[in-house]
Chains A and B, each alone.
Chain A
Amino acid sequence: MKNAFVQFGVALPKIQKRHIQLLLVLLALALLVLGAAAPYGPGPI
C-alpha cells in the first residue's frame, strides 16, 4: 500500500499540460456525442 502511494507521488509530476488538455477534449467530445445522439435501447432481451 505504501509502495502504491510512493508510485503515485512519483507519477504525479509527470502529468503535463497536454494530458489535462487531452482529458478535457475527450470529455467535451463525450458530452457532445451524448447530447447530440438519441439512440434507444431497453436493455438486453
Chain B
Amino acid sequence: MAQAPSKRPSKVILLIAVFAGLLVGLLRSRLQHQAWQLPELRHVWLVVVAFIPQLLIFYLPGWRDQIPESAVSAGLVTSQLGLLVFCLLNWKYNGILVLAGGLALNLFVIVVNGGFMPLSTETAAQLMSQRFLDTLKVGSPLGAGSKDILLAPQQIIFPWLADRFVIPAGFLYRFAFSIGDVFIGLGAFLLLSLQPNYLERQRSRC
C-alpha cells in the first residue's frame, strides 16, 4: 500500500463548517438579543460507538496494517450506517436531513464501489505529482489514513458521487471532495447556525 504524505488536514477541514456554524449561530442569537440554544441531540452515544471502527482504522497509527482490506471496508460501511441511523433519529433538527443526505450519498457510492470512496486517476493527477502518482497502484486504497481507493475513471460506478471536485489552484491546501461531503459540511453548518432561539422563546411564552 502506497503511503501518501499528510492526509489529516483534508478530514479536519470539514470541521471548519462546524465552527463556522457555531459562530454564526452565536452571532445571530446575539443580534436578536437572545440566548443561543444547544441542539438537544438524542442518542449521542451512537455517534461515539459508530465512530470507533473509523478511529481504529483511519486515525490510530499501526492498526490498519494489521486488518485485512475487506474488514477495513466493512468497518467503514458499518460505521457510516451507524452515523446515518443517528441522523435519522434526530431528523427534526435543522440541517440534519441535509447532513444525512450527504452521508447517504457517500455511503451509497462507497458501497457500490467495493467499500471505499473512489478517486479517479484523473482527479488524483490534479492533486499530486506524476512521480508520486506512478508509485500508487490502481485498485488499491490510498494510504493508511484514507477512505479512498484509486480507480481508473471508467471503473467508477456513479462517478458524480465520487471524490471528483478539487479545490481550485492557488489555495494553500488542495483536496478532492464529493458532493456528499458538501452536503455534510452544509448540514453541520445549518444545524448550529439555524438553532430556533426565537421560536423556542415564543413557544415558552404560549
Contact = CB atoms under 8 A, between A and B. Distances in A.
Contact of B13 (A36, A39, A45): A39
Contact of A44 (B132, B142, B172): B172
A25 to B, nearest CB: 6
Interface string B164-206: 0000000011111110110011001001100000000000000
A32 interface: yes
A2 interface: no
Given A34-B15, A35-B83, A36-B80, A41 B10 contact: yes
B112 interface: no
Interface string A25-45: 110111111111111111111
A6 to B, nearest CB: 29
A34 B50 CA distance: 11
B163 A40 contact: yes
B128 interface: yes
Interface residues of B, number: 58
Nearest to A24: B44
Interface in B1-48: 4-7, 9-15, 17-18, 22, 38-39, 41, 44, 47-48
Given A36-B184, A37-B106, A40-B7, A31 B18 contact: no
Contacts of A37: 11, 14, 102, 106, 177, 180-181, 184-185
Interface of A: 18, 21-22, 24-26, 28-45
Interface of B: 4-7, 9-15, 17-18, 22, 38-39, 41, 44, 47-48, 50-51, 54, 79-80, 83, 86-87, 99, 102-103, 106, 110, 117, 119, 127-129, 132, 142, 146-148, 163, 172-178, 180-181, 184-185, 188, 191-192
The 8 closest A-B pairs by CB, nearest first: A41-B175, A41-B10, A43-B6, A38-B117, A36-B103, A39-B177, A38-B147, A40-B148
